[in-house]
Amino acid sequence: MERIRSRGAVRRLFSAFTIEGALPEPGVKIVADEKEVGEITSSAILPLPGGDRPVALGYLRREGAGKDLRAGATKLKTAALPIS
């Protein structure tokens, strides 16, 4: 907390992602415009009433928000929590 207060900003946000493609492994880097902007911490297929949904969690730097995101060959989109 002291580091955040003294430096004035949080550079990374904990984010949820919907997935198009294979589930990315934990530790895979998130890339936007050929620049590393984050990292996947976990991924799973959620059994939801509307059908199974592949999702991932991870950290995303602010400059990656709103851009086309990839984790390896997998396409990502940021999603609001809780995922439904």
User: Could you tell me the domains of the chain?
Assistant: 11-78 (2.40.30.110)
Average pLDDT score, the chain: 87
What's the Cα-to-Cα distance from 62 to each of 3, 34, 78, 84, rounded to whole Å?
17, 15, 12, 24
Helix (H) or strand (E) holding 7: helix 2-7
pLDDT greater than 70 at residue 78: yes
Whole-model pTM: value is: 0.81
pLDDT for 48 equals 86
